[in-house]
Structure 1
Amino acid sequence: MEEFEIGLPTEQFISLICVKARKNQALGEVTAPQIMHEHLRLKSSAELKAHIGYYYEYYHAMTDPGSILCSLVHVRGEGDDVVYERNERLQIAGAGEDFERYQYLGVAYYLRDRLFFIDYESLTSNEISQTILIPSFKSCITRLNGLKIGVSAADHRAPACSRVVWEYLGQEINRVDAYRRVRLYKPDDCAIDDDLRARLAQTQVVEGLFVIA
């Protein structure tokens, strides 16, 4: 309060207090997340935009140990932010070609030579995951290595961590054709080449929890 405000007529003083209270309440509801995001966005390197485009993401499936999951990721600019969408499909046991679909929405940052991707499962809202990648320092992006942490979609919902590889597809793709590859694969499937298999080979499974060897 300013000193002169205290000496205002009672009704005017009450009205002023109510206006200030509403402003403070509105600011209080959004301050913490907005400050965090704005701070990280400002610290994020402009090099992040060099990684905009479509990717296949490969990692050891947290729900089906022993399998490799391929998902489709789209990283794009939205105003001053870089956001992304990640789509997964998991085959339903005994249901032929039926799939369970998962869609993750998130935001990306480039902080001190590392790419950070934080998302949530938008259809069920029951999971937050984080992916950290080593960016490409070459003029042509091919494959990016890193780690992913999340939880299994199975009943036990075990926390899990896996090596992850993102394969760059380009800024414009045929999404229908690309989406056909999104599914679970066995490690010896011909769709998983030797280079990709080697990049993912440093993950082992212990009691349903993925740990880094």
Structure 2
Amino acid sequence: MSRTHNLDALVHNLQLLAESFDSISDFCARIEVNRQQFNKYLAARHLPSQRVLAKIARHFHMDADDLFRAPADFKSFYEGVDRNVPDLLGFPKLLNLLDSTAANAGELARYHGNYFRYHCSSIVKGKVLRSVTYIYEKEGRTLYRTVERFPMSNGAGGTSWFSFMYHGFCVLLGDRIFMIDFEGKQRNELTFTVLTPQHRTPARFLYGLVTGVASTSYRQPFSARIAFMREGGQAFHRKHLRAATILEADDASIPVEIRAYLRCDESAVMFGGEG
């Protein structure tokens, strides 16, 4: 269905997003959208430009095309992206694990904050995926969310961005940080990460391994080295999201310590089923 024909869905979905703010004025101010123009969108008098759609979608960690989903589907999708407590916490056995490690919450507090996350891509061999991760505390548990962004040619000389958001929790067992998450858009994937803590405050780098399922047509299980670089104590901002992308393995923006650890040649990612 074309965007023009799906205008009613867009209007409904924009109204739902605006309702999560104190007012329409607050919504427009935070997203930096003209209020008078936004009122025309809500009245179905104008279709937002691609630039405005991208700005709104980026604020909510989704793609512009997601704004045109059928209203019922969009509500379920948006609530899955926006909620603070991940679906994983709905599993009683995982809750038991979290409760049993609650005594370690204080030890994990020094790792709370915003990080750039680097690992050898399971999709584009030989390249590095830089994403952003925010680790935080809620109701005595250490949770986190990660946003990945992939640039793709749109066929018209421009670039489209595909993003994925992971929700998860951290536990400290022995001298290791274990991170378990699920992908909130496709909702069909779990990822596991094990990190070795640094005994310094604040920790600038964390190194470890990530294991998951590749987002390719073959859906192979994979494992690769991963590294985190601390950016600050607050949740990530748009400037961090814009920096999330695919990089060449020798890109100068990757810290030299992380480049040396990842060693991202084409054999850096181990796929299940390969000899």
TM-score range, shorter chain: 0.7 to 0.9
The 1:174–1:57 alpha-carbon spacing in structure 2 relative to 1, beyond 3 Å, is closer
- CA 1:94/1:170 → structure 2, altered by over 3 Å: closer, same or farther? same
Unmatched runs of 5 consecutive residues or more in structure 2: 1-89
In the alignment, is residue 101 of structure 1 matched against residue 163 of structure 2?
yes
Q: Does 1:121 align with 2:183?
A: yes
The alpha-carbon distance between structure 1 residues 33 and 167, as it changes in their structure 2 partners (threshold 3 A), is: closer
CA 1:43/1:172 → structure 2, altered by over 3 Å: closer, same or farther? closer
Shift of 1:190: 2.0
Aligned mates of 2:138, 2:190 — CA distance in 1: 21
Q: CA deviation at 1:204?
A: 5.6
CA RMSD of aligned residues (A): 2.5
Q: Percent identity?
A: 23
Q: Which residue of 2 aligns with 1:132?
A: 194
Instruction: Name the TM-score, length of structure 2 as normaliser.
Output: 0.61
Deviation at 1:32, TM superposition (A): 3.6
Answer 1 or 2: higher relative contact order, Cα 8 Å, separation at least 6.
1
What's the counterpart of residue 7 of structure 1? none
Amino acid corresponding to residue 187 of structure 2 in structure 1: S
The answer to whether the 8 A contact 1:102-1:123 is kept is yes
- Give, in angstroms, the shift of residue 139 of structure 1: 2.2
- The SS at the match of 1:90 is strand
Query: Once the two structures are superposed, what CA deviation does each residue of 1:183-203 show, in whole Å capped at 9, x if it has no partner?
Result: 000112222232221011177
SS of 1:36's equivalent in the other structure is helix
Closer, same or farther: CA 173–42 of 1 in aligned 2, 3 Å: closer
Q: Give the 3-state SS of the residue equivalent to 1:189 in structure 2.
A: coil
Distance 1:173 1:127, change over 3 A: closer
| 2:145 paired with 1:74 | no
**What SS class does the counterpart of residue 179 from structure 1 fall into?**
helix
Higher Rg of the two aligned structures: 1
Aligned residue number for residue 196 of structure 1:
258
User: How far is the alpha carbon of 1:34 from its aligned partner?
Assistant: 3.3
SS in 2 for 1:157: coil
Using the TM superposition, give the Cα deviation of residue 104 of structure 1 relative to its aligned residue in structure 2, in angstroms.
0.1
Structure having the larger proportion of residues in strand:
1
Task: Give CA-to-partner distance per residue, 1:81-136, whole Å, 9 cap, x none.
Answer: 01000000011245532111100000111111111110000111111001111112
Q: Which residue of 2 aligns with 1:36?
A: 97
Instruction: Describe the superposition over 1:165-184 as per-residue Cα deviations: whole angstroms up to 9, x where unpaired.
Output: 00001112661111111000
Letter in 2 for 1:120: F
Please give the alpha-carbon distance, in whole angstroms, between the structure 2 residues aligned to 1:175 and 1:36: 31
Higher normalized helix content (fraction of residues): 2
Q: Say whether the 8 Å CA contact 1:61–1:68 is kept in structure 2.
A: yes
Q: Which letter does structure 2 place at the counterpart of 1:90?
A: F
Secondary structure of 1:34's counterpart equals: helix
Measure the CA separation in 2 of the matches of 1:64 and 1:203: 11
**Equivalent residue letter for 2:145:** E
Distance in 2 between residues matched to 1:207 and 1:144, nearest whole Å: 19
Change (3 A) 1:36 1:174: closer
Q: Using a 3 Å threshold, how does the CA distance of structure 1 residues 142 and 174 change in structure 2: closer, same or farther?
A: same
Residues 45/204 of structure 1: CA separation in 2 closer, same or farther (3 Å cut): farther
Q: Which residue of 2 aligns with 1:165?
A: 227
User: Which amino acid counterpart does residue 145 of structure 1 have in structure 2?
Assistant: Y
Secondary structure in structure 1 of the residue aligned to 2:159: coil
How has the CA–CA distance of structure 1 residues 202 and 66 changed in structure 2, closer, same or farther, with 3 Å as cutoff?
closer
Normalising by structure 1, we get a TM-score of: 0.77
Give per-residue Cα distances to partners, 1:8-34, cap 9 Å, x unaligned.
Answer: xxxxxxxxxxxxxxxxxxxxx975443
Matched to 1:54, the amino acid is N
